[in-house]
Amino acid sequence: MHKYLPHTASDIKAMLDKIGIKTIDELFVALGDIKLTKPLDIPSQMSENELRDHFEMLASKNKNLLSFCGLGSYESYDFSIIDALTSRQEFLTSYTPYQPEVSQGTLQYIFEFQSYVCELTGMDIANASMYDGASSTAEAIFMAVAATRKNKVLLSKTINPYVLEVVETYCKYRDLDIEYVLEKDFSFDLEDLKKKLNNDVACFVAQTPNVYGILEDYSKVKETLEETGTLFIINQEPSSLALFKAPSEYNADIACGDMQSLGLKRNFGGPSVGYLATISKYQRRLPGRIVGKTVDVEGKRGYVLTLQAREQHIRREKATSNICSNQSLMALTVSIYLSLVGKQGLIELSKRAYNNAHYLEEELLKTKKFKKTTDKPFYQEFVLEYLGDPKVLETKLLALGYLSGYNIKDNLIIFYASEVRTKAEIDEFVKKVGEV
Amino acid sequence: MYDKLIFERSKEGRVGITLPKTEVKDYPLPKEHLTKRDLLLPEVSEVDVIRHYTNLSLKNYGVDRGIYPLGSCTMKYNPKINEELSKNPKFNNLHPLQPDVTSQGALELEYNLEKLLNEILGLKAFSFAPCAGAHGELTGLMMIKAYHEKNKDYKRKKILIPDSAHGTNPASVAIAGFEVVNLRSTEEGTVDVEHLKEVLDDEVAGMMLTNPNTAGLYEKDICIITKLVHDAGGLMYYDGANFNALLGLAKPSAMGFDVIHLNLHKTFSTPHGGGGPGVGAVGAGEKLKTFLPNKHVRLENGLYVRRKEKDSIGNVSYFQGNYNVILKAYAYILSMGKENIRNVGEFAVLNANYVKAALEEYYEVPVKGAIMHEVVFNGLKSKKASTLDVAKRLLDYGFHPSTIYFPLLFSQSMMVEPVETESKETIDEFIDALIKIAHEAEKTPELLHDAPHTTPVRRLDEVLAARELKVKYRDLL
């Protein structure tokens, strides 16, 4: 007997009798030689206490570092009610809401999640979530390719390299041509975009704040793309949207990105959650689940999965995407975080991240070990040129319990100061950097 | 019944958080970049948030409440200890880019889980980068493509898929840049080997197969199928969505599969979370193991390191996939252990055959012989009510219905998967409800037609939702 397996010998006997057979083995006759004759070579069962000890042994081999590195994995305040709510079995142990009458909880929070994504990005319609910001960018490209029937993709070189790696994989196997728009002064180069643009280009994809943390200026992009019928895709870090211009204000056709910064722990990279939103014109190109409001037979407000004719379970190979399970529980987490933080809180938190990053930059420059690289405005990450050996800096800080900035190339280091960092932590870090 | 949106609870000036004091001064913001929008975000208190989401949760059904017999979804119990273990801050606070030497525990766990799954499936290597089953399918197909391209075999553009396959299979094929060739099923509901022979040629890159298939049947000709495909130069992809039936009892590698995906959120008990996060772990045998996505954990000189495989297709997720979910799958396998893991497949199959035997008097069984872990009925024998009506009436009895109208092989499909964590008593209650509904269909069919009567909302107007599209709060204003 095992605690997760309730059948007793008499249960099994009664069930076999009903089926009209003598042994369970008879149910597996079809397997023939394939059926294993020996037990699997895995460890013996563990009790809860043994499991706790085993996990603690593994956990003790991990080192929690004080982080000044972002690059797509951010730190936000942990509010106790988020775990209390997302641990509720009704959210945690339910399936995709195929039976809407007993899934209104999930359907309504997805509707609210879509509302949040639309509100932040200024877009007309969002889906129920994507795996992460990288796959959402790839799927945004597929939408543009399908909408324009063009095969070429222009990507800004200032997009996070970990996003680019995924986008390159997706595009390669879809037989799409990728070309990069070069960077100029740590931002995408508009002149290079103009040079590379032609009638075969389905979309131009850019990121703001970009990999260097810099807020890119897209005021001339849409008009540039119009002549060739090229769509504009913006990947934007959502915590920046309370303060800074949204994809809609740059007339983007599609907005995408990763929402980990809004209340999700770093968790060694996942689970995160991606968002994908667009203007009404392309609503039928969206991949994945979309929840819409409706009424029941008594006229009561309710929510259902809608526009399902786009999806794999109906359209099979003609679907807009293969996505089925997404990151629903993470969409819930982000929604709870945004509800709790509210309008003023979101503005305040992004101002704090902005101020912390600017303070860190100012203090790091005072050590005389760095050179400022650009005067472009930045948000919560920034890039400096280190005058020593970045590897030495990284190693020495690691020994002191710090995850230093990200050495993207040559002597360039991208630093990040989350809203969670205190002045004392920043001061101490800068002091240690100065001592290297 | 509570029906407010969080936005409708908003009152100007309310706050939900207390922030610590900050000593860092304000820096001027770049004016040209500031938004001109006034965001319509809620202003609510902490109590408002707790009440709101608690009330929403009460409108959901979950595994902790009762049987959740969705066919193809393997809704088994999600152990609480796994949740506890996954919330260890020493795992939760790891940055994905921190050096391997500072994340040895996390990497060792991933390495250990890979070794366990290699043994369970009979494979050589696993990647946990894909975030869901369909994501795993896409990854596996990319690996097949990369394999043929490495062999300069560029004409292989076709992937064979049985007509009984999950919808994600053909969709993944298209996204991976392949062409779908549909394979007919026999009258018994398994792959038509003669049709397979007809379509096999040197343009076939591979074949995707679920075994047991979506009709709940074990593909008895599996070894013939895989040999035929291999002889034609193709590779075999195993959709592991239904692996629960065979857990501890058979290894897909022995059937001849080259690459597989496992839904850790099905067979390996991690919670489905209302639609994710899942993990579509991809496993490969000898031929494809070097094509796995980045990055793969290896043990080198006593140190666990993340490495790029030499033929890697590249990465498919931002960093390490849904890393935290694999902690739960690992805890699950360890808590079952070698003594019990075989019972998972055995009891899952026993349960499904029991449900079939108990209900075949009332519901049409369209396939012959023993089934595996799920049973497909083609609706009521009496045809007095549709499968949709039966499903909705089940809600009134307090049960979550089975998967309906899938597989597409039968017009009134009801696919029941009574997983191994369900007791005989629970299954009997579920069976009794379905028998009562069969009687109701004869005597009072309107009860079914108007069902459900007891749920937070009743049947919803899906046509209206699509026709007058309202997908966000602003659309309601």
**How many angstroms away from the CA of A56 is the closest CA of chain B?**
8
Residues B16 and B421: their CA atoms lie apart, in Å, by: 40
Query: Would you state the pLDDT for residue A6?
Result: 98
Residue-wise pLDDT tens digits, A150-203: 999 999 999 999 999 999 999 999 999 999 999 999 999 999 999 999 999 999
Q: Per-residue pLDDT for A314 more than 90?
A: no
- The DSSP 8-state label assigned to residue A210 in this structure reads -
User: What pLDDT score was predicted for residue B169?
Assistant: 93
Given the cut 0.90, state whether the ipTM is greater than it: yes
Find out whether A151 and A307 touch, Cβ atoms under 8 Å: no
Q: pLDDT at position B187, please?
A: 85
Residue B127's closest CA among B343, B337, B290?
A: B290
- Residue at token pair 């969206």: A286
Q: Is residue B385 a contact partner of residue B445, using CB atoms and an 8 Å limit?
A: yes
Residues of chain A neighbouring B16 (CB-CB closer than 8 A): 339-342, 345
Tell how strand B158-162 and strand A254-258 pair up: unpaired
- Residue A137 CA to residue A125 CA, distance in Å, equals 16
> How crowded is the C-beta side of B332, counted as CA atoms within 13 Å?
26
Going by the DSSP 8-state scheme, the letter that residue B212 receives in this structure is S
Name the band, by pLDDT with cuts 50, 70 and 90, for residue A312.
confident
Query: Which domains are seen in chain A, by residue range?
Result: 9-58 (no CATH), 66-76+342-435 (3.90.1150.10), 80-335 (3.40.640.10)
Does A427 contact chain B (CB < 8 Å)? no
Are A92 and B294 inside 8 Å of each other by CB?
no
Q: Are B17 and A345 in contact (CB under 8 A)?
A: yes
What CA–CA distance (Å, rounded) separates B180 from B243? 23
Closest CA to A239 of A378, A13, A76, A90: A76
Closest residue in B to A305 (Cα–Cα)? B462
Interface mutation target, options A1, A4, A26, A282, chain B, most CBs of B under 10 Å:
A4
- Give 10-residue mean pLDDT values along chain B (477 residues): 94 96 97 96 97 98 96 96 98 98 98 98 98 97 98 97 91 94 91 96 97 93 97 97 96 97 97 97 97 95 96 95 98 98 98 98 92 97 97 97 93 97 98 98 96 96 96 97
Neighbours of B411 (CB within 10 A): 11
- The pLDDT mean for chain A works out to 97
Rounded to 5 degrees, φ, ψ at A188 are -65, 150
Task: Output DSSP code: residue B305.
Answer: E
Using alpha carbons, list the distances in angstroms from residue A400 to A395, B181, B278, B349, B462: 9, 58, 36, 55, 58
CA distance B46 to A353: 23
CA distance B270 to chain A (A): 9
Question: Helix (H, G, I), strand (E, B), or coil: what is residue B262?
Answer: strand
According to the model, what pLDDT value does residue B285 have?
97
- CA A134 from centre of chain: 7
Domains of chain B with CATH codes = 81-335 (3.40.640.10)
What is the strand order of the sheet B158-162 is part of?
B125-127, B280-284, B259-263, B235-239, B204-210, B158-162, B179-183
Distance CA A258, CA A140 (A): 13
Largest CA distance in chain B: 76
Lowest mean pLDDT among A98-102, A310-314, B62-66: A310-314
Surface of A (12-31) touching B: CB under 8 A: 12, 14-16, 18-20, 24, 26-31
Write down the pLDDT at residue B332. Answer: 98
Q: Does residue A114 surpass a pLDDT of 90?
A: yes
Question: CA-CA distance, B44 to A342, in Å (whole number)?
Answer: 7
A148's tokens: 């324009």
Q: What is the reported pLDDT for B316?
A: 97
Alpha-carbon span B386 to A348, nearest angstrom: 55
Task: Report the sign of the C-alpha dihedral through residues A310, A315, A321, A324, in that order.
Answer: positive
pLDDT score for A317: 85
